């Protein structure tokens, strides 16, 4: 059995997110959308998030502004703003979620992902922190489809990062999904393997010092680190 969790980052984007939802709906496929809080504040963004939820997809927090990586800004107030305010935005929409995905640094897994203050907040708020093991670089051109297929064939459980933004995956998503559906014994799921789960319900899973920019004391496990294919904007 080959498992694939499709995730869509950096939206919602009116005019794009609808196309992604239509492609998924036509094939009855599940997905997870990690949204940028500022994008949800507009009327169009709010409608898009409501459509995502109505379609039955999961919604997670991808920071308020998606600017500096949390590990590059160690001030605890920055983590409180980027993480906490986005959780508040989603809660105001009646969409409470405990899932968080930190902004990457062009898709790399490393200490830039989290600051000690961010770790403390995520554990305190009983959050589930998700990273990735495949970033096919859908913003670079049509070759992303082949890169995604290669990831799926090489791994037991792929957590792929695509983007519902202009210049992202939408143009070729139908093609990609149809090709994925041809993979023998593939299962589309909204679950995540422990490999990409840094914290779950406020408990450290694969979280280790390699994910944090400074000393931290709330977590205990140390893991060998994760490597992602490609990059993420």
Active site residues: 9, 163
- Rounded to an integer, what distance in angstroms lies between the CA atom of residue 88 and that of residue 191? 24
Q: Tokens representing 52?
A: 């995502």
Sign of CA dihedral 37, 198, 143, 173: negative
DSSP string, 28-89: T---EEEE-HHHHSSHHHHHHHHHHHHTT-EEEE--SS--S-GGG---HHHHIIIIIHHHHH
In this structure, what are the phi and psi dihedrals at residue 62, rounded to the nearest 5 degrees? -120, 35
Q: Which residues neighbour 28 within 8 Å (Cβ) at sequence distance 6 or greater?
A: none
Half-sphere exposure at residue 165, Cβ-oriented, CA atoms within 13 angstroms? 18
Does 12 sit behind a cis peptide bond, omega within 30 degrees of 0 on the bond before it?
yes
Q: Tokens representing 90?
A: 């989603």
């Amino acid at each position: 059995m080959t498992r694939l969790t499709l995730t869509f980052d950096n939206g919602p984007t009116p005019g794009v997110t609808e196309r992604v939802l239509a492609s998924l709906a036509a094939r009855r496929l599940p997905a997870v959308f990690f949204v940028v809080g500022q994008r949800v504040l507009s009327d169009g963004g709010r409608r898009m998030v409501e459509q995502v939820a109505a379609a039955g997809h999961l919604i997670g927090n991808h920071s308020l502004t998606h600017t500096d990586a949390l590990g590059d800004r160690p001030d605890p107030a920055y983590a409180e703003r980027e993480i906490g305010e986005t959780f508040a935005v989603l809660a105001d929409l009646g969409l409470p979620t405990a899932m968080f995905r930190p902004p990457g640094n062009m898709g790399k897994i490393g200490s830039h992902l989290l600051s000690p203050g961010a770790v403390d907040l995520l554990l305190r708020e009983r959050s589930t922190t998700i990273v990735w093991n495949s970033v096919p670089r859908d913003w670079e051109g049509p070759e992303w489809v082949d890169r995604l297929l290669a990831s799926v064939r090489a791994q037991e459980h792929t957590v792929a990062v695509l983007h519902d933004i202009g210049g992202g995956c939408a143009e070729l998503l139908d093609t990609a999904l149809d090709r994925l559906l041809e993979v023998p014994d593939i299962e589309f799921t909204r679950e995540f393997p422990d490999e990409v789960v840094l914290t779950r319900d406020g408990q450290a899973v694969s979280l280790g010092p390699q994910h944090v920019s400074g000393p931290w004391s709330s977590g205990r496990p140390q893991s060998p680190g994760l490597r992602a294919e490609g990059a993420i904007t």
